Amino acid sequence: MSTGLGLWALLVLSGCSYTHTVIRIDGSEIQQRLDERFPIQKKRLMIETRLENPVVLLEPGSDRIGLQLDVSITPPQPLKPLTGRGSVSGKLSYKRIDGAFFFTEPRLETLTLDGKTPDEVDRWREPVEWVTGKALEILPVYRLDRDDLKQAAASIVLQDVRVEDGGLNVELGIGG
């Protein structure tokens, strides 16, 4: 925290000569950090849902980040467990206190379950949506490195985040 405040004071005292820079966060860095936080498993209404093997999906020019996930659903007996794939997307929001980016507005885009018709899959959509929403809203997608001077500055002067060329471009600047 003192590093950030010191940097801010230095920028203000220098007459705000520092005005704009971009930090590049490569998709592979995001992938690595998410890999460390999965699998995620939650239970709701006697239905256990597990999300694992996330694959980061970055659509150029989009304000959303996507994940493709393996999905396992364990319903109460006598129903049999289900497996499949899903994709979810969300907007990124930055929480300055945490120095981290989080999913907001998570949305289950696709869901397929092995051996199930689309009508049968719809029956299981709600528990998967609930788990992805609850899990991803509190899961940091990426945390800025406060030991990196450029990234420490981001915690004070972040202006924009964009998906470009397989990564995130984090725009920093003074003013607004």
What is the distance between the alpha carbons of residues 171 and 105, in angstroms, rounded to a whole number? 22
pLDDT of residue 71: 96
pLDDT of residue 16: 45
pLDDT of residue 171: 74
Question: Three-state DSSP class for 97?
Answer: coil
Answer whether residue 172 is part of any domain: no
Residue type, 171: E
Model confidence, pTM: 0.74
Taking the chain (176 residues) in consecutive chunks of 10 residues, what is each chunk's mean pLDDT? 45 48 81 91 89 91 86 93 94 78 88 95 90 84 71 61 77 59
Answer whether residue 65 is part of any domain: yes
Can you point out the beta strands (E) in 75-121?
82-95, 100-113
What is the distance between the alpha carbons of residues 56 and 31, in angstroms, rounded to a whole number? 6
Counting the structural domains of the chain, the total is 1
Answer whether residue 13 is part of any domain: yes
- Residue 102, domain CATH: 3.15.10.40
Answer whether residue 123 is part of any domain: yes
What is the distance between the alpha carbons of residues 40 and 19, in angstroms, rounded to a whole number? 40
Burial of 22 (0-12, 13-18, 19+ CB in 10 A): middle
The domain containing residue 104 runs over which residues? 2-156
CA-based R_g, the chain, Å: 19
Answer whether residue 174 is part of any domain: no
